[in-house]
């Protein structure tokens, strides 16, 4: 698999997202899932996932979190520092999510539709001291075991009905139903079908594949 950015930036990326989530939860007092949603909604998750070095390593995690809040119209906390805590659960969740997004190659949006903040929080006690490779295996199994298809998850996230997606993309509603029911293999779908749906859903073609 071709990664979105070189592995030399991965440690910085994990540190940045880990610290951003830690600051969001412990200082800004946001729910972890709320921060994920804001990170994705403001567009910085896409920039981060594509390897924009401004966000991977050009700013601290605290600065990243504050920029997410500002872009979403939320006043960042006055406090710009964190008390030292030896890698709390919040830090590990951001850290491992950055690792998995790089490893998996899908967008944060596609991943977070199937692996939520609470899923990661519940894995902290089991995996935070394990080799990252084990975490990649566990998260991969969760992705595969999640009910429904990537297409259905992304469509619902965008609050579109099947008929609305069909109308906006120009793809027949029957084709969309067959893809979501796995009666037609979306991995072998026509490129123009995939491209049209991806544009409407604001994702990459790879995010639709199973």
Chain segment 103-130, per-residue pLDDT in tens: 999 889 889 888 889 889 999 999 999 9
* Residue stretches of the chain with pLDDT short of 50: none
How many angstroms from the chain centroid is the CA of residue 151? 15
CA triple 164-167-172, angle to 5 deg? 105
CB atoms within 10 A of CB 23: 29
Contact in structure between 117 and 97 (CB atoms under 8 Å): no
Tokens 């935070």 found at? 128
3-state class (DSSP) for residue 119: helix
User: With a threshold of 0.85, does the pTM exceed it?
Assistant: no
Joined tokens for residue 23: 């600051």
Task: Please state whether 119 falls in left (phi above 0), alpha (psi between -120 and 50) or beta.
Answer: alpha
Question: How far is 126 from 122, CA to CA, in rounded Å?
Answer: 8
DSSP assigned state of 63: H
Give the tens place of pLDDT for each residue, 188-207. Answer: 999 999 999 999 988 888 88
3-state class (DSSP) for residue 77: coil
């Amino acid at each position: 698999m071709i990664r979105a950015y070189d592995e030399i930036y991965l440690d910085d990326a994990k540190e940045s997202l880990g610290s951003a989530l830690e600051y969001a939860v412990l200082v800004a007092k946001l729910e972890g899932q709320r921060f994920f949603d804001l990170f994705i909604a403001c567009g910085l998750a896409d920039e981060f996932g594509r390897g924009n070095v401004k966000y991977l390593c050009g700013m601290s995690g605290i600065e990243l979190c504050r920029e997410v809040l500002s872009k979403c119209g939320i006043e960042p906390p006055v406090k710009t520092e964190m008390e030292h805590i030896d890698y709390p659960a919040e830090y590990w969740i951001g850290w491992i999510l950055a690792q998995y997004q790089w490893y998996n190659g899908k967008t944060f949006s596609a991943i977070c539709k199937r692996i939520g903040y609470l899923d990661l929080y519940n894995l902290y006690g089991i995996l935070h001291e394990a080799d990252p490779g084990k975490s990649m295996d566990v998260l991969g199994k969760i992705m595969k075991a999640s009910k429904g298809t990537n297409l259905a998850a992304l469509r619902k996230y965008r609050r579109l009905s099947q008929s609305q997606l069909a109308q906006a993309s120009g793809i027949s509603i029957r084709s969309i139903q067959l893809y979501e029911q796995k009666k037609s293999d979306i991995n072998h779908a026509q490129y123009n079908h995939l491209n049209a749906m991806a544009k409407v859903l604001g994702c990459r073609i790879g995010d639709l594949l199973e």
